[in-house]
Structure 1
Amino acid sequence: MGSSAARSAFAVVGAVWVHVVLAQAPADAELPRVVVTGARASLAGAQQIKQDKLEIVDAVVADDIAKLPDFSVTEALQRVTGVQITRDRGEGGTVTIRGLTQMETLLNGREVFTAGTGRNFDFADIAAELVAGIDVYKTSSAAQLEGGLGGIIDLRTRRPFDFAGRQALASARLIHGDLAGSSEPQLSLLASQRWALAGAGEFGALVNLSVQRRAFREDQKGTGEPVALNDLVAGRTVRAPNGTSETTSVGERKRTAAHVALQWRPSPALELYGEASHAELRTDQESHQVGVVPCQRPACPAAAPAFVPGSVTLFPGTDDLRSITWTQVPMSILSFARDTVDRTRQAAVGGIWTRDALTLKADLSRTTSFNHLFFSGPFLAATAGEFTHDLSGGVPGTQVTGTDLLDPSALRYTGLAYRTRPFEGDLTAFRVDAQLRVEEGWIRRLSAGVRHARRGASNAPGLIFADAAVTGLTAADRPSFVMPNPYRFFPGVGSPSLHDFLVGNLATARDAAGLREAFGITAPIPAAANPLSLWTIEEQTDAAHAMVEFQAARLPVDGNVGLRMVRTREAVTGSQSLPASGGVGPIAIGSRYTDWLPSVNLRWRPAPGWVLRAAASKTLTRPNFDQLSPSLTLVPNPINPSLNQGGSGNPSLKPVRADNFDIAAERYFGPATSVVATVFVKKVDGFVTTVSSPEVHDGATYQVSRPQNSDAADIKGVELGYQQFYDGLPGWLRGFGVQANYTYIDSEAPNNALGIVLPLQNLSRHSVNLVGIYERGQVSARLAYNWRDKFLSGLANVVGIGALPIYTRGYGWLDASLRYQASERVSLALEGTNLTRTRRGAYYGVETRPQGHWLNDRQLSLSATIRF
């Protein structure tokens, strides 16, 4: 799908769809008012939100989310125009809006986040069943929270007054991963009720719960960084990959989510509420990784290792290695448990009071978040008699001969890994907003508000790196700690991979103290990391806004114009080296700055069904917390010291600011039929980029990365969207419908490491969503295809070659569902994700230098929903 022919096909199909739509409704037709009920109401509801908002917004509502097998909010977002996601263990990972991860994330209009180095909420943490809708704001208004350079994503949960009366439903799903070979249950429950209170108005309570378990498997084959070698072909410098790294990861992801909402309306003028939310994502993972590294630095590339004469071939017309057989090659086998947990909780109370034309709103919220990593397991090493590396196939072929890697005496223990890393964050926020409705003149509404927030973030006690070396022991000396590799790597792929070898037995990996005792390691695990790596940040923001909503007197033009002022105070504390004494001392750095953020949103309705929009605004995003930290974190590599890495922040970083301009045209032909187009430009004053260079610490060399503000960058693009049910077709065919959108984004960001301009990381220039829909009688079906073009996924600094961009190839992802309404209360569904079992791939700059390949499960599930 990444070819120009495929993109042309998409364009042709889109043109045909638009022609069909325009042919079905005259341009000057007066649209009748239609009440939509049943299955199509979800599409109509999302379209109505988009049409009614003064800002440019895309929306997804709960009923439509439920029609596809989306595990998390991230996967529901992937089908929104202008949104792109990455993949993590076969699920949705990072989210970008128009190529930017710098967005504001909200839960019911309140800031929410996942503890870590960044500021945003990880949408993979929350189950899709917990949301009533998702609003993606592409343009800003003064009343909205600042911080969204790319936009704002607001998750809306359900409240009891959303329903006319009692509402109760439960759903159960059994999901099977074909590579994992395991099935796990998923359950959700919603219960809501309203009561009339004698003389005290009305009261409502709602509880929404979700528990998801999903077994997963991900195979990853990494190809080593290119190394410049002069000894492979006479008179030529050959760029050869520095070996292979092949990892099979299996495990379970468990999401638990809960939302409780109370509403009390003691009188028509007053409503009080209280809400509490909990979202947690646990990933328990076990990985087995075999690495073959023929070129050990620093000896290489000065002297190439031995290879079989005549085994070297190159890709035609290049100096890039195509195949080779190395001899006497060092190997490593790493087996480890890698467990993570994200836990975010938010509680809020507030009220809304209305008297005549005046409305007052107040909201107080408290958010806490915790993130933790645990990593533990044994490391082994061996020597391969011969290692053949063939890069000519779609996936590089690898093979070891001349050594029996199932013989315990052929493998030796080199160490035990132990690493933990926590993050914590908290936020207390209070806001008051007032709105005055004006009955006469061109001003329709005046609004103003203030917000005070205090946010904290910390990584204490830091990354505890307690790897311990083991010497003098073979696997035969501790046979209970190894076992044959239980997995056939990259099943169904024609290229050979490594598979017949011993791996670590991870039965005791999570008992780190017992594992160390079994190998005679007496050194205690430190209680805290090096003080130089620790940081704590306290941030206070005070904001005020004023906004006018207006309606032109004689023209069908309305909109809003406003100004938001925000003052930011930051206090960063950490530690620094004291060269004079050789010790460590505290460091505290404070900063403050004020931003004025104007915005305007215009809407013109020149004819029934037509909406034209224009918007302009200034936005900002503050640097991530680790980017502001003055502390230094060093991560040694016990297998290959040349891969020692480090990172440090920069307290002098400035926020990233942007001027944004949008123009949109929207044509609505009916409650669920529309064609929309948006053109946007963002002029960013400079992103935060990372500069990496070698530094010597405690006698060892580390490649240390430090952030800095870069030069200005531009982002521009086009978004196209279309949806329709084909009601004009005869009989059962009228149940067919389609949703389609296309996004083109062109970005230019200077890169200091390469000295050239590159696109933004994780941004595809082209992305497409096609959703085929069928809604007829008791049957509901969806077939959803998401495709994105190639994108820059990282940079590698290679000794002797320099910095190389890493590109991930374009790929598609196919999901589907078939739902049957067995009765008024019971529905059954068959669902599938990653039906084509997509294989993703990446390369260093050019296709003849592969970097990595990934393979994930195909997931199939059966589910049932019961309404009580």
Structure 2
Amino acid sequence: MTMTFRGASVLALAVAGALAAPLAQAQTHSAADTPAAQSQSVAGVVLDDQGRGLPGARVTIVETGAQAVTDRQGYFTFATAPVAGDVTLQVDYIGRETFTQRIAPEERGNAVLVAPGEATIIVTGAIASGTVRALNQQRNADNATNVLSADDVGRFPDPNIAEALQRVVGISIERDQGEGRYINVRGAPAEFSAVAVDGVAVSALDPTTRAVDLDTLPSDIINSLEVTKTLLPSQNADSISGAINVVTRSAFDSRRSRFNASFGGSINQYGGSDVRGSAFASTRFGADRNLGVVVSGSYSRTDRQVDNVESVWDVLTRPEGGEVFGIIENLFKDYDTRRERWAVTGGIEAKPTPESRIYLRGSFARFKDDEFRNRLGIIWEDGELQPGATDTTATFTKARLEKQFRHRVQQNEILTVTAGGEHRLGTALVDYSGSYSTSDQFYPRRNELLFRSSLRPTLSYDYSNPDNPAFSLFRTGEHLQTDRYAFRENTFRNNITNNEEWSARGNIALPVPMGANELELRAGVAWRDRTVVADEERQRDRAAGSAPALTLPQMLSGQPSQNYDYFLGRKINPDLANAYLDAQRSRSPRRMPDSITADYTADEQILAGYVMARADFGATDVIAGVRVERTAFDGAAPTFNDDTGAIGEAAASARYTNVFPNLTIRHAFTENLLLRAALTRGINRPNFVDLVPRVVEETDGNVIVVESGNPELQPTLSNNADLALEYYVEPLGLISIAGFYKDLSDYRYTLTRAGTYRGQDALFTRPENAPDGSLYGFEVAWNQKFTFLPGFLSHFGVFANYTYTEADINVASPYAGRSVFPLPGQSKHTYNASVYFENDTLSARLSYTDRSDYLDEINADVPAMDLYWEGRGQLDFTASAQVTPNFTAFFEAKNLTNSPGVRYFGSRERVYEYERFGYTLFSGIKLNF
């Protein structure tokens, strides 16, 4: 479909206008035909005995049977209540006994419903408190939604949002140095999941992807995490697998002032320590306490030493004939890292009247990774393969040895600000907001100093045990002859990537008489404008005159460099190396054309409009609607002419309109047995870096990788079918099963091919579209506290889930005889299992999470060289004791299994990367007032 962006604006406004007539007519009908006493609304809040709002409570007007569900702060509204005089409200909430409260006419606009006190609460304890809130929100949601409360998150040793989300059924995580960074929802690539903070879309930090680095956001700033697996027309369509909303705290979560804080520290198995602390305060002002202020802060620091070995495999030709799989390069990496997170959230909210709300909220998070790395390299391919090589053993003459120091600093920042309001005008509900967000990534340092040995020894390896291969080097010790190393090169890189987005939205909802049933019409428009600027500088100097004044032996410290059982020698003194690199950087020549062609700019504007209707047929709720999104993309990348040195620019543009129909059904066989079904459509737009016409050289060790964009890429679309059955177990629990199917078109994948670049062997990667593909599977979950057991056993409970997925993509033409590929990032099996104990003062939880192997990269030429991540299981333990009502001590043990991170080529015996992180033991205290 071809349409100008201005035309799309007119279309969206026309969609809203088309709905305005029936809305206005319905409102006129209501005002003209309904007595004033009958149209008076009923609004209020449902609180527990501590003054905290109860989200997800079902409130029923007994006289009419009309129902409403409380929001995140416990507020509810009935647009009309056709009953004169007193009104009886009934509140149904999982984990508490149902209660009723009589409301006089003067209380209709500001009813305060307080659940009976502790004596009538069915389930007590901190885990129960958080689980109760989450289950009630999930039960009464219109669409398939999973909710994790802050209490739930706090019962696992999960320092960031990614690790917290791995506990949700259907979600697995991708890790960096053992810590969760990206999420995969229902086996889909990380880019298929949109992320928002308080409803504000968060852009990716990394310039190469749309996936959001969730390790930037600490888990202790949240009030809850909401995972929407089936979208509604009112939601942005850019989420094929799941939309994540990080909900921060609100002053209206409680009627009283609140303060809590926590802090603690740890020891790590492989050295280093953690410190972590957070604080939160909120209060409300005014005679009616209708003005609230909230602020929270978080800080964490992790010092860690990580062991890592990388082995680059290839197909080698033996001197005596025939081919074997062999190693062309080994990198032994010894890391010393410090990761720090800062985060602050705040908000001002007001409810000038019981039926109106205005707010200003903001959040800021910063992640800094300061990493020193000593690396020993064996460059086998620079030598000569000797006869007798097998797929696990080989001997090379004239192998090359290298020793490298690297200091890399990465800093991520995410800022979100949103202001808006919600008002009831007659029977219509109007809400609006304007938002601004930035996601910035900086690499102020990517400095490297490389030495190369003049020795060209004969070396051999044995990979009979791929997790602990043997190398003759560590018996003969040629790498320890440091006087034979000479300066080879220095390299410098610094990156700045800025993602900036402005957005605005407005919605109107109006109940319309429909006989004995309820019908709500809703319409809205939304606008988003995102700008991306990626700027990178690269420098390298190999001139002999640029060598440091100190020789390698003079630059070594007294600290040993140990990688597993491999003794790498002594570490390079970071102060001496940094002093040299800082002084040399200004003199190191700019690397052309890489410093030019690595940059790009992009702008993406999305204008959307939707209409939907929600009909309540008693036990069945039906939502039907359509969303239309118009996308305008403009991107550019610099070009460099190797012959003339001229710098130019290549540009690309795209305009397209997509329609997203939606049908969502929620049927209640009983109050606690629900069926959900949905037919939806979603979109994943191409990564900006893939759309712009850029060609850039990357160096991975001694391997040259040439990446190029593809301006002809199309967005990936998915037609989705979902069916779920949920049973909410009394008094506290959930058993559910859900099936899903996603029909993918124009799935975007990246192939790696071998070739030559500037006269050198290289690997080429380029994104392409696959005509079609599919992703399907099912998930089951069981969450229950065993209150039906006698005595001591009644304090135990279980939290478990399992997800099975199958996926494949069909490419346009075969590569090495293959035309069907698995979906990158998709694990066939994902597990979570936890057993917990909790009473009024003590809680403990033993939890295990695991996922099966998944594809990372496709090799177009050699199927046996596809790159996979091995599935990884991890055992954790947490415990806490409430010493006083305001003081709690806690303990966490993370990664007790010391599970490694492993990547391999094609088969598990060809290990590419083997990394261990060790366990962490953390303890601290929490204060709550």
Aligning the two structures, in what range does the TM-score lie when normalised by the shorter sequence?
Answer: 0.7 to 0.9
Structure 1, unpaired ranges of 5+: 1-28, 315-319, 491-496
Residue 531 of structure 1 corresponds to which residue in structure 2?
A: 596
Q: Which amino acid aligns with 2:205?
A: A
CA displacement at 1:290 relative to structure 2: 1.3
CA displacement at 1:705 relative to structure 2: 1.8
2-side partners of 1:570 and 1:81: how far apart?
35
User: Which residue among 399, 410, 414 is the counterpart of 1:340?
Assistant: 410
Q: Which amino acid aligns with 1:387?
A: L
Secondary structure of the 2:134 match is helix
Mapped contact 1:197–1:203 kept (Cα < 8 A):
no
Alignment CA distance shift 1:337-1:716 (3 Å): same
CA displacement at 1:68 relative to structure 2: 1.3
Alignment CA distance shift 1:701-1:238 (3 Å): closer
2-side partners of 1:241 and 1:221: how far apart?
13
Alignment CA distance shift 1:230-1:855 (3 Å): same
2-side partners of 1:367 and 1:468: how far apart?
42
Is 1:690 matched up with 2:750? yes
Q: Which amino acid aligns with 2:125?
A: G
1-side partners of 2:785 and 2:804: how far apart?
25
Secondary structure of the 2:380 match is coil
1-side partners of 2:895 and 2:497: how far apart?
32
Is 1:80 matched up with 2:168? yes
Q: Which amino acid aligns with 1:651?
A: P
Report the more deviating stretch, 236-245 or 608-617: 236-245
Q: TM-score, normalization: structure 2?
A: 0.82
> For residues 43-102 of structure 1, what are the alpha-carbon distances to aligned partners after superposition, in whole Å with 9 as ceiling and x for unaligned?
122111221112111111101101111110111100111111012122112111112221
Is 1:387 matched up with 2:459? yes
Mapped contact 2:898–2:916 kept (Cα < 8 A):
yes
In the TM superposition, what are the counterparts of 1:368-407 in structure 2 within 5 Å? Answer: 368-373=438-443, 374-382=445-453, 383=455, 385-393=457-465, 394-400=467-473, 401-407=475-481
Alignment CA distance shift 1:105-1:668 (3 Å): same
Is 1:499 matched up with 2:562? no
> For residues 138-158 of structure 1, what are the alpha-carbon distances to aligned partners after superposition, in whole Å with 9 as ceiling and x for unaligned?
111100112101121111001
Mapped contact 2:308–2:915 kept (Cα < 8 A):
yes
Two-structure CA RMSD over aligned residues (Å): 2.7
1-side partners of 2:911 and 2:581: how far apart?
39
Residue 500 of structure 2 corresponds to which residue in structure 1?
A: 426
CA displacement at 1:410 relative to structure 2: 2.1
User: Which residue among 283, 286, 310 is the counterpart of 1:222?
Assistant: 310
> For residues 699-755 of structure 1, what are the alpha-carbon distances to aligned partners after superposition, in whole Å with 9 as ceiling and x for unaligned?
555433221211200000010000111112222221110011000000012366553
User: Which residue among 193, 212, 217 is the counterpart of 1:103?
Assistant: 193
2-side partners of 1:267 and 1:472: how far apart?
71
> For residues 382-415 of structure 1, what are the alpha-carbon distances to aligned partners after superposition, in whole Å with 9 as ceiling and x for unaligned?
2363433121124322341444433331222211
Residue 869 of structure 2 corresponds to which residue in structure 1?
A: 808
In the TM superposition, what are the counterparts of 1:47-126 in structure 2 within 5 Å? Answer: 47-100=135-188, 101=190, 102-117=192-207, 118-126=209-217
> For residues 543-588 of structure 1, what are the alpha-carbon distances to aligned partners after superposition, in whole Å with 9 as ceiling and x for unaligned?
1111111122xx6211211111111111112234569966332233
Is 1:305 matched up with 2:385? yes
In the TM superposition, what are the counterparts of 1:843-858 in structure 2 within 5 Å? Answer: 843-858=904-919
Secondary structure of the 2:368 match is strand
Residue 212 of structure 1 corresponds to which residue in structure 2?
A: 300
Is 1:622 matched up with 2:622? no
Is 1:590 matched up with 2:663? no
Q: Which amino acid aligns with 2:664?
A: N
2-side partners of 1:352 and 1:844: how far apart?
54
CA displacement at 1:356 relative to structure 2: 3.9
Is 1:38 matched up with 2:38? no
Residue 531 of structure 2 corresponds to which residue in structure 1?
A: 456
2-side partners of 1:505 and 1:766: how far apart?
45
CA displacement at 1:483 relative to structure 2: 3.4
> For residues 622-645 of structure 1, what are the alpha-carbon distances to aligned partners after superposition, in whole Å with 9 as ceiling and x for unaligned?
1111011112212357x74xx222
Residue 137 of structure 1 corresponds to which residue in structure 2?
A: 228
Report the more deviating stretch, 850-859 or 614-623: 850-859
User: Which residue among 329, 332, 336 is the counterpart of 2:399?
Assistant: 329
Question: Percent of counterpart pairs with the same letter?
Answer: 24
2-side partners of 1:628 and 1:790: how far apart?
29
In the TM superposition, what are the counterparts of 1:148-163 in structure 2 within 5 Å? Answer: 148-163=239-254
Residue 810 of structure 2 corresponds to which residue in structure 1?
A: 750
1-side partners of 2:927 and 2:546: how far apart?
62
Is 1:548 matched up with 2:613? yes
Is 1:259 matched up with 2:259? no
CA displacement at 1:512 relative to structure 2: 6.3
Alignment CA distance shift 1:546-1:470 (3 Å): farther
Is 1:273 matched up with 2:359? yes
Mapped contact 1:90–1:218 kept (Cα < 8 A):
no
Residue 12 of structure 1 corresponds to which residue in structure 2?
A: none
Secondary structure of the 1:194 match is strand
> For residues 295-344 of structure 1, what are the alpha-carbon distances to aligned partners after superposition, in whole Å with 9 as ceiling and x for unaligned?
22xxx7xxx4347xxxx574xxxxx2x23444442111222012111101
1-side partners of 2:280 and 2:767: how far apart?
45
Mapped contact 1:753–1:803 kept (Cα < 8 A):
no
Secondary structure of the 1:635 match is strand
CA displacement at 1:465 relative to structure 2: 3.7
Q: Which amino acid aligns with 1:61?
A: S
Secondary structure of the 2:897 match is coil
Residue 864 of structure 1 corresponds to which residue in structure 2?
A: 925
Structure 2, unpaired ranges of 5+: 1-93, 99-120
User: Which residue among 673, 678, 682 is the counterpart of 2:733?
Assistant: 673
Mapped contact 2:376–2:568 kept (Cα < 8 A):
no
Q: Which amino acid aligns with 2:164?
A: A
> For residues 165-206 of structure 1, what are the alpha-carbon distances to aligned partners after superposition, in whole Å with 9 as ceiling and x for unaligned?
100011001122220x222321100010001158xx721100
> For residues 462-510 of structure 1, what are the alpha-carbon distances to aligned partners after superposition, in whole Å with 9 as ceiling and x for unaligned?
24243545589799735432336623212xxxxxx43142443322444
Alignment CA distance shift 1:477-1:534 (3 Å): closer
Residue 560 of structure 2 corresponds to which residue in structure 1?
A: 486
Is 1:164 matched up with 2:264? no
Alignment CA distance shift 1:336-1:469 (3 Å): farther
CA displacement at 1:524 relative to structure 2: 4.7
Alignment CA distance shift 1:583-1:438 (3 Å): same
Alignment CA distance shift 1:313-1:583 (3 Å): closer
Residue 766 of structure 1 corresponds to which residue in structure 2?
A: 829
Alignment CA distance shift 1:120-1:522 (3 Å): closer
1-side partners of 2:928 and 2:670: how far apart?
42
Q: Which amino acid aligns with 1:196?
A: G
Secondary structure of the 2:153 match is helix
User: Which residue among 285, 288, 292 is the counterpart of 1:195?
Assistant: 285
Mapped contact 2:177–2:915 kept (Cα < 8 A):
no
Alignment CA distance shift 1:705-1:721 (3 Å): same
Q: Which amino acid aligns with 2:139?
A: Q
2-side partners of 1:866 and 1:30: how far apart?
25
In the TM superposition, what are the counterparts of 1:827-838 in structure 2 within 5 Å? Answer: 827-838=888-899
Alignment CA distance shift 1:154-1:434 (3 Å): same
Q: TM-score, normalization: structure 1?
A: 0.88
> For residues 4-26 of structure 1, what are the alpha-carbon distances to aligned partners after superposition, in whole Å with 9 as ceiling and x for unaligned?
xxxxxxxxxxxxxxxxxxxxxxx
> For residues 639-687 of structure 1, what are the alpha-carbon distances to aligned partners after superposition, in whole Å with 9 as ceiling and x for unaligned?
74xx222212122211110100001111122242121000100000021
CA displacement at 1:239 relative to structure 2: 2.3
1-side partners of 2:643 and 2:568: how far apart?
54
Mapped contact 2:651–2:692 kept (Cα < 8 A):
no
Secondary structure of the 1:488 match is strand
Mapped contact 1:385–1:403 kept (Cα < 8 A):
no
